[in-house]
Amino acid sequence: MLRARVALNPASVVAPVSRRTFGSFVEHMGRCVYTGIYEPGHPLADEDGFRTDVLALARELGVTMVRYPGGNFVSGYRWEDGIGPVADRPRRRDLAWRSIETNEVGIDEFAKWAEKADVEIMYAVNLGTRGVQEALDVHEYINHPEGTHLSELRRANGAEKPYGIKLWCLGNELDGPWQTGHKTPEEYGLLAAATARALRSAEPDLELVACGSSSSIMPTFGSWESTLLEHAYDLVDYVSCHAYYEEHDGDLGSFLASAVDMDHFVNSIVATADAVGARLKSKKKINLSFDEWNVWYLSRFQSAPLPKEWEVAPRVIEDQYNVADAVVVGSLLISLLRHSDRVTAACQAQLVNVIAPIMTEPGGPAWRQTIFHPFARTAALAKGDVLRLEIQSPVYATEKYGEAPVIDAVATHDPATGDVVVFAVNRDQERAVEFAVDLTAFGTDLTVAEAWTLTDDDVRAVNTKDDPERVTMQPLTGVALDGGAATLTLPRISWSAIRFTRA
């Protein structure tokens, strides 16, 4: 049996858990909006056309914040197409996903959905084909209280009160040549700074997210952030990070270690931002918004062309996730939580149908993919402070990342309840690992309140419409607690969550 160990200490705190870590993403892409969150005529649609089965699953998932309306989509989007009488709204080409946007859903409808789902909106403006003026216009429509042309238009459209959106993304992935309106770092830095300055004149306490790199393999990774922050350091609060992982050519070992890359990504951008801050003699710290992350079989998408015909809501990147994918998603959440001092917002991309934890059939059911489970458990259990851990773990060799730890973990401690929660991944493909967790610093009166694991003899098992509960969380057996010494037996290729509470 392999062995690993860690000692937890309530005084060793990284930062409080940010509720914004449990964000998601709704893009006008494929079937995320149409037949995803919105399907008038569906037997379970409410009076506004929203699927109540999807709303219930979004709440169960524990999503706290949703980025909207894109994504690559936003870089060609005219927000004003999506307001006013639905019958008058134009149908447009969406060049990003080669589909037809009907504009039946716009900001007024999405704000209604967000209220029902009880989530904060993170709103992205178009800095691909548009600029400062249009960003100001959409801000006026969304957040200006009353008495101006666009705020009165919102009121006339039925929203008397401003939406009060605080978190704004200054464009999307403008470092990527695939992006409509792709820019050089210099061009983007100047535009982001000008847009941020204008938005702040309208509403000084907005929280602004500048686009960082769309992956760590971009040729401009690091230099993009550095140039952009030279222009915008004092004007923005966050730099965004985007990362998608997949298993390449059956290399499961590297895939299971994807969080090593996420750690590297975060550490590199924190170092880059802090270096710019030092050059500018600024005391301010820029935080990271990891506002697109997930498992995505991107290489399959890249090898299959987008639909030839211009369709409304085509099936695009509807990846079906297996057990290994869910274990990786759980481990990426471990990485995000570990960095809670600097990653204070994050969005799993996306929420429904498009590389998503929730799937739907038009006119049919909605169900949970495997990746739903680690997200939902983490969002429900991670409370209070994130603890700093020094894990002693065996390592294994990976093709992509060199040596990776077999066991990775993060823990939270809620001073209000005394609960301690350990989230742990076992990346070994053959063996269970005995993980010794020293909790003596919390006293000796802790008991095991709940212990769950996601694992399966068949790591390729998936949930489908016809077998939606094939993969779920299972009770983790073999949790021993003696005084303050816990021993967890973590199955091979598994993600687990164990909550200890005061007796």
Phi, psi of 298 (to 5 degrees): -60, -35
Residue closer to ligand AHR by CB (options 169, 273) is: 169
Phi, psi of 381 (to 5 degrees): -100, -25
Q: Rounded distance, CA 123 to CA 322, Å?
A: 31
Residue choice 53, 173, 237, 414 for contact with ligand AHR (CB under 6 A): 173
Indicate whether 101 belongs to the interface with ligand AHR (CB under 6 A): no
Is 109 catalytic? The answer is no
Residue closer to ligand AHR by CB (options 120, 292) is: 292
Residue choice 23, 30, 49, 70 for contact with ligand AHR (CB under 6 A): 70
Count of residues near ligand AHR by CB under 6 A: 11
Q: In what order do the strands lie in the sheet with 99-101?
A: 92-94, 99-101, 311-312
User: What would you measure as the largest C-alpha separation in the chain, in angstroms?
Assistant: 70
Q: Rounded distance, CA 483 to CA 459, Å?
A: 35
* Segment 280 to 309, residues that bind ligand AHR, using CB under 6 A: 292
Q: Rounded distance, CA 405 to CA 426, Å?
A: 9
What's the min distance (Å) between Cβ of 223 and ligand AHR?
20
Residue closer to ligand AHR by CB (options 29, 471) is: 29
Which residue in 173, 186, 230, 430 is the catalytic one?
173
Indicate whether 71 belongs to the interface with ligand AHR (CB under 6 A): yes
Selection from 30, 36, 111 nearest residue 70 by Cα? 30
Each residue 149-168 as x (binds ligand AHR by CB under 6 A) or -, in order, gives: --------------------
- What residue spans of 250-399 are helical by DSSP H? 252-256, 258-279, 298-303, 323-338, 372-381
Residue closer to ligand AHR by CB (options 213, 398) is: 213
> Please, what sign has the CA dihedral across residues 12, 18, 24, 27?
negative
Indicate whether 94 belongs to the interface with ligand AHR (CB under 6 A): no
Residue choice 27, 53, 225, 408 for contact with ligand AHR (CB under 6 A): 27
Which residue in 39, 101, 120, 292 is the catalytic one?
292
Indicate whether 172 belongs to the interface with ligand AHR (CB under 6 A): yes
The CA-atom distances, in angstroms, between 295 and each of 25, 65, 376, 384 are: 14, 19, 16, 27
Scanning 66-74, 104-112, 256-264, 339-347 for contacts with ligand AHR by CB under 6 A, the matching segment is 66-74
Angle at 360 (CA atoms; ends 359, 364), nearest 5 degrees: 150
Is 27 catalytic? The answer is no
Phi, psi of 453 (to 5 degrees): -140, 150
* Segment 321 to 350, residues that bind ligand AHR, using CB under 6 A: 349-350
Q: Enumerate binding residues for ligand AHR (CB under 6 A).
A: 27, 29, 70-72, 172-173, 214, 292, 349-350
For the annotated catalytic residues, the residue numbers are 173, 292
